[in-house]
Structure 1
Amino acid sequence: MAPAKAPLFLARRSYRLRRVMDALRLLPLLGLVLFVLPGFFVLRPAHVAVLGLYLFAVWAGLIVVTAILSRRLEHVLAEAGTQPEDRDD
């Protein structure tokens, strides 16, 4: 008799938890790219104000996205009945 195979797909809770954690881990990299992006363009003095608004919008957007993802992570962890692990990956 052949041994039982592991399920092909992950459980929804662990899948959601991993995707939210992956998104939170990639957020600083996205922020870095968005902050460095204007440095590749030649700025005229008239565009400095626009650059300031852009950087403020990116900064505020990162805060909002982080808040949304952290609340989602809390929701997924509460649904699973677990606490976040302190892992050294």
Structure 2
Amino acid sequence: MNGFAALRAIRRDPMTRDIPVIMMSGNEQAMEQFFGTRIGADDFMKKPFSRYEIFFRIERLLDENLIPRRATAAGEQRAAEVAGTH
């Protein structure tokens, strides 16, 4: 399983789809970054990178503005599924 397949599996599973994901790659192709973000990566980093850059991006993803929005959207979707209105 490659990173793209793992990301697809994470996003398909209702228990894991809201987990923030940062994809990392040594590949310089822009298409890889585009595809990763298109299938659900929250961020994409090209190697090499510093640990400070990693910390910054993790902090940004865990920002209180991002996580509650995702959780609210996921909760609304689950409520609609339970109510049968999806």
Q: Could you state the TM-score of these two structures normalised by the residue count of structure 2?
A: 0.34
Larger Rg: 1
Q: What TM-score does the superposition give when structure 1 sets the normalisation length?
A: 0.33
Greater RCO (Cα-Cα under 8 Å, separation 6 or more): 1
More strand by share: 2
Which structure shows the higher helix fraction? 1
